[in-house]
Structure 1
Amino acid sequence: MHDAKPGTLWVVATPIGHLDDLSPRAVATLREVALIAAEDTRHSRALLARHGIATPTTALHEHNEREAAAALLARLAAGDSVALISDAGTPLVSDPGYRLVRAARAAGIRVSPVPGACAAIAALSVAGLPSDRFVFEGFLPAKAPARRTRLAELAAEPRTLVFYESSHRVAESLADMRDAFGAAREAVLARELTKLYETVLAASLGDLAERVARDPDQQRGEFVLLVAGRGEEADARVEEGRRVFALLREELPPAKAAKLAAAISGAPRRLLYGESGE
């Protein structure tokens, strides 16, 4: 075995789309371990076959991780090497595996990464947004009230925000981001990275939300959404929003005043409405 050591848990990154993005070291490791723990063994079959990997596989996903981890730990303790892969990208990044890795480390078993693709980092590298400091938020809550609450909590975050989103919620999430962060906030939609229909769109949240809402093609595939942090320009919009809201509040109900003030200034509507105390 050229690299993998008996009794080691290898955390192996796999491609996020293009099957040729699997590194030579990852191919060698997956061929030489005793067992591959895959999020979905059927999904991984095409990748493994493409690279001539015939290693046995077993399923480890969010619904069976507790039970599967115990069996894998027993194999590792007996001296077998095991590779952990997810459906795409780096395991544990919005994917299962945390419990297995934590338990292996607690048991004194060596855990070693074989790095590679990660959708969040790939998107950040081409977004053109500040990347020296960023916040990875993964998937937002599926239900609208919880999602909007979380976005309101992030409205003042100064670092670039990185989200994952599914095809059936991307339009709703962009609309909620527009409302929470302001229509003028700079953002990027990265869709189907490294795949045939790869798309990277950079625009204001208002423009992105409108484009995706009216274009069904931009609602298909896998998404990374990136939003610029709140900077000095955003601070100025919030101050203007507060000024406009205060004037409108004298004549209109708080909700309507906040909606109009946000549209005029680009300030987050929920921030203005929350400050009304009603």
Structure 2
Amino acid sequence: MGEDGIVTDNGRLVLAGAPIGQTGDASPRLREALETADVIAAEDTRRLRRLASELGAEIAGRIVSYYDANEVGRAAELLQALQDGRTVLVITDAGMPGVSDPGYRLTTMAVEAGITVTSLPGPSAVTTALAVSGLPSDRFCFEGFLPRKPGERARRLAALAEEERTMVFFEAPHRLRPALEAMAEAFGADRFAAVCRELTKTYEEIRRGGLGELAGWAAEGVKGEITVVVAGHAPDVRPPSIEDLVDEVARREETGVPRKQAIVDVAKGAGIPKRDLYDAVHRS
């Protein structure tokens, strides 16, 4: 920020939400912003030009590529344009910049520099999938993409095993089956979920069921953009016994969590002294 925390009179950063499937979902404000921005930073410049053509927008500003591989270096260049008083519009292939897409680094830099940051809201695969999943939407968390390596993925899911909020994930189609199998292992094969494929597009498909059942369906091969919505953990009515907690420690150890950390986490979650659980684990 500028001196004394006051926003300085620089340019303006606009984070533009792009349609996730249907061009008709784009807002009139997006068309106007594409025509008036001084610089447009696009994840894919070819897709940007196609979108502009479909919207009937005539781009007069400079177009630059802005994707994962060049995000760090390009952000400094874009920040300079903002400090020179330019309006910079960031747009990704679909959805909102910064949500599992480039945009976060530049936004942080702009905020720290005292530059105005605003947004053109647009469609989101996260909230669209949540809305059609049939799962509770009053409280949810977005987990993005799971780690690619099986061990890291198992550890991430183990940490979410007792998450009570509905969970939303992105996943690549070729990794969907192992991801669902890992979820079934961590959360239980009967945990309800919805796999949302090609949302808003011609071949939109939503499959609902237990994680085990969905993993079997995905074994046949799935194509397209994938969003997975998973029911949160429903806590047991009865408090877990010390034997249950010892078993939980062992299960977490099997996923790679160190025993000491597993004991601390499980004891904290159960609301018992960690010494009591430590003793029980070493007696078993």
TM-score (norm 2): 0.79
CA contact (8 A) 2:20 2:95 kept: yes
Task: Quote the residue 1:133 is aligned against.
Answer: 139
| 1:207 corresponds to 2:210 | no
Q: Cα–Cα, structure 1 residues 142 and 237, in superposed 2: closer, same or farther, change >3 Å?
A: farther
Tell me what 1:54 maps to.
58
8 Å contact kept, 2:10–2:116 = no
Structure 2 counterpart SS, 1:189 = strand
- The letter for the 2-side match of 1:8 is R
Of 12-21 and 45-54, deviating more is 45-54
Q: 1:276 to 1:22 in 2, by over 3 A?
A: farther
The DSSP-based 3-state class of the residue aligned with 1:36 is strand
Whether contact under 8 Å (2:197, 2:226) holds in the other structure is yes
Letter in 2 for 1:30: L
User: Helix, strand or coil: the match of 1:63?
Assistant: helix
Match of 1:113 in 2: 119
- Partners of 2:72 and 2:180 in 1: CA distance: 35
Aligned-partner residue type, residue 225 of structure 1: V
Which of 44, 62, 65 in structure 2 is aligned with 1:40? Answer: 44
Q: Structure 1, residues 169-195: CA drift from partner, whole Å, max 9, x if none?
A: 001100111111001111111110011
Corresponding position of 1:267: none
Aligned to 1:85: 91
Counterpart check, 1:26 vs 2:24? no
Shift of 1:6: 7.8
Residues in 2 aligned to 1:193 and 1:171: alpha-carbon distance in whole angstroms: 19
CA shift for structure 1 position 236? 6.8
Q: Which residue of 2 aligns with 1:94?
A: 100
Give the deviation of 1:43 after TM superposition.
2.5
Aligned: 1:223 with 2:256 = no
How far off is 1:78 after superposition?
1.6
8 Å contact from structure 1 (residues 6, 81) kept in 2: no
Question: What 5-or-longer segments of structure 1 have no aligned partner?
Answer: 247-253, 259-270
Give the count of matched residue pairs.
243
Q: Are the counterparts in 1 of residues 165 and 232 from structure 2 also a CA contact under 8 Å? A: yes
Q: Which amino acid aligns with 1:74?
A: Q
Please tell me the residue identity of whatever aligns with 2:218.
V
- RMSD between aligned residues: 2.7
Tell me which amino acid in the other structure corresponds to 2:31: V
Instruction: Give the letter for the 2:217 counterpart.
Output: R
Gaps of 5+ in 2: 1-8, 255-265, 267-279
Instruction: Tell me the equivalent position of 1:15.
Output: 19
Matching residue of 2:201: 195
